[in-house]
A and B are shown apart, each in its own frame.
Chain A
């Protein structure tokens, strides 16, 4: 029996990769554990602490999904993935979802056959330079040497930006963020470029952050979000609406502190629908009524997660910026829960 399954899979190898995942929700429930692909380590977004517990902005998304689906935010197995292994791990079914600060692009969506379930962080590529370089705008970087991680979209963005502005630059190839910091501090390059969130985190831990400036220009759009495989719309819906619930919860003032109380019923019918005291939205995605309540209770609403992991009160100190609610001039705007 096992052998015939094996041979069958061998014969139809890649075609069947999608079939394997047709009912991810059932698989996760049967397993009693959500397998979530995360970064091997990115400050603020995903990192294990000294006891091996994963924490961070992306990790909180995994926890919320696990809480919604399994009722327990701790039932997550974190699989650290590298830039090379992340997509194969997801496509092959090794992980149920990927929350690894992955940029939503056309080809990843269409060609690699993934479904991005939303955007949890709007990032963009920026530059950091030493203050004594006397540069106040990225447009003044003509002829500069730039430290750049190879094989990333940032490398392509950099080339585009300098081409559009008719400037020249000297790339200094680096492999990892840590190496980039070393090269930049050692003076191997005038400017260091990566996602603005990464630059902020990097600058925050310098011995002399006051001597380094992050230039105001953001030269690319990097909408980072969680993603799942094509071919299982129910699972994609669950992921999408868990994220939306976290964002909506902030909009409507539902926090991890008051979610229990609000779930008994409020004046706002939309809040009631989200928290399950009115209607039965959960049944439409194969979950129970209280799915969103548990997701919010796991690590708080979007604003709470942001503040706890990467916000201005943390050493990373990112401002909300584009990641504020639409009512606050940001881009976070969830479709209605109806």
Chain B
């Protein structure tokens, strides 16, 4: 081959020219700028305007942020400090209000010596969520687990309580036992996810431990009745028997049983926690309680409603359509007002129907109606062939839903479901209208009503907004993670 080159005419270049650099306008930052910011006269104008806007915003706000004061006891003191360090005309943020009232923003009027209970509930929530949100073991999960365990230990030590460590030990022991029998981490924690609602209720509101225990036993009773009856009389009768058995348990057995067990154990620590009234809840404890309870209950409820709406049974369909359309047709505030004010007129005098419970019910119903429609969208997007394939395999209705239809429909609906959840979480701030102390306005107004902090305006809003952003953004990121993980096509 080299002969060919050697014999070639001298005017033929016998080696490749080194590639020269692209023109300066077509490379690096300049190219990027030209293509993305200055690609035409309209874009150029918009870019300049945009930069001008950002510049003026930063010019206004950067000094305000930089001059922020963290240590002061009142707004007046903040102003003095800012004037002393940055000159008379300087403006600055008074973050001291957040530091001083941090506990109120976080816990509302929850008794100070009991703060470990909501914190423990939040940490255990993460443990309970692990097997639901993540199915594969990973190092990150182990690290997160270690951090949670360390925090629980710290909680035990700093509040002098043995309950957090006790719960941690029980979790570790049962999980290890399940692990030794072949269950995989983190799904060997799923038993704890089932127990968590009762545990969280007990930690947050206190009282006797037997109330949540006996209440959750109702589900077990219902399940046993269902299994027993369905083998004898079929699934539909079995389901009915399960529901009836659970209700019988709650109505007739639960009350006396709780009283009897409380009598036996007395008010000793592992069985009794000091009661906390609902009106002592506030701030982010309230927002998280309502938000998480609403999210946890509204998803299964939404699935049932979506299936009901596509059902062939006219009664079921009618009820579901009526419910969904009614709830979606009224504003959430209306429902909250009904829950807090109108119900009082109808309930017998002296009935104490917990206000947070009422709000959770209303928020859940509201969210369930929206989620039902989102999931119905997912169901409608499935090709008919999937339903027919399920039938062809001889699966009954529930098996077909569980094994074939729902996994696909839910996967399609993930973005919609998560955005409903995010909406629900942000809507928890609306409870301020029924005189519950939400972090955004309820607590902020209460804080501002003290003479020390009257006149503080932006700081609490920015702080609360930032926390809401963190939570909502995390939900959004998780939804993207899940979408990527479940992506089956075009891999």
* Chain A residues within 8 Å of B, Cβ to Cβ: 2, 5-6, 8-10, 13-14, 16-17, 19-21, 27, 39-44, 46-52, 77, 79-82, 84-85, 88-89, 92-94, 176, 178, 181-182, 201-202, 204-207, 314-316
Contact = CB atoms under 8 A, between A and B. Distances in A.
A184 B348 CA distance: 47
A178 B451 contact: no
A39 B449 contact: yes
Contacts of A46: 449
Contacts, number: 110
Interface in B438-468: 442, 445-451, 454-455, 457
Contact of A92 (B108, B112, B345, B455): B345
B449 A82 contact: no
Given A79-B435, A316-B451, A41 B345 contact: no
A42 B347 contact: no
B340 A85 contact: yes
Contacts of A89: 341, 435
A79 B280 CA distance: 10
A17 B349 CA distance: 8
B317 to A, nearest CB: 29
Nearest to A37: B435
Contacts of B451: 43-44, 47, 201, 204-205, 314-316
B439 to A, nearest CB: 14
Most buried by A among B109, B347, B451: B451
Given A47-B451, A81-B435, A205-B455, 20 more contacts: A5-B348, A9-B347, A13-B346, A17-B345, A27-B350, A40-B435, A40-B445, A43-B449, A43-B451, A50-B101, A51-B112, A52-B108, A77-B279, A79-B279, A85-B340, A89-B341, A93-B344, A178-B445, A181-B455, A315-B451
B433 interface: yes
Given A88-B341, A178-B445, A49 B433 contact: no
Interface string B318-348: 0000000000000000000000110011111
B322 to A, nearest CB: 21
Contacts of A43: 449-451, 454
Given A41-B449, A85-B340, A85-B341, A80 B346 contact: no
10 contacts: A5-B348, A27-B350, A40-B442, A40-B449, A42-B449, A43-B454, A48-B449, A50-B101, A79-B279, A316-B451
B448 A41 contact: yes
Contacts of A16: 349
Given A5-B348, A9-B346, A92-B345, A182 B457 contact: yes
A206 B446 CA distance: 19
Interface string B401-445: 000000000000000000000000000000011110100001001
Most buried by B among A27, A47, A181, A316: A47
Given A41-B448, A84-B433, A93-B344, A178 B457 contact: yes
A181 B386 CA distance: 61
B435 A82 contact: yes
Given A2-B348, A13-B345, A50 B449 contact: no
B76 interface: yes
A182 B108 CA distance: 25
B97 to A, nearest CB: 10
B104 interface: yes
Given A48-B104, A178-B445, A14 B450 contact: no
Q: For the side of the interface on B, what is the size category?
A: 35 or more
A312 to B, nearest CB: 14
Interface of B: 75-76, 79, 100-101, 103-104, 108-109, 112, 277, 279, 340-341, 344-350, 432-435, 437, 442, 445-451, 454-455, 457
A92 B352 CA distance: 12
A72 B128 CA distance: 44
Contacts of A42: 449
A50 B76 CA distance: 17
Contacts of A204: 451, 454
Q: Please provide the 3 A-B residue pairs with the shortest distance between their CB atoms, ordered closest to farther.
A: A41-B449, A92-B344, A20-B349
Contact of B446 (A48, A79, A94): A48
A181 B101 CA distance: 21
A47 B349 contact: no
A273 B227 CA distance: 74
A202 B347 contact: no
A46 B277 CA distance: 21
A80 B280 CA distance: 11
B348 A50 contact: no
Given A9-B347, A85-B340, A201-B454, A47 B79 contact: no
Contacts of A315: 451
Nearest to B458: A182
Contacts of B454: 43, 201-202, 204-205
Given A50-B103, A50-B104, A85-B341, A6 B348 contact: yes
A207 B346 contact: no
A215 B336 CA distance: 41
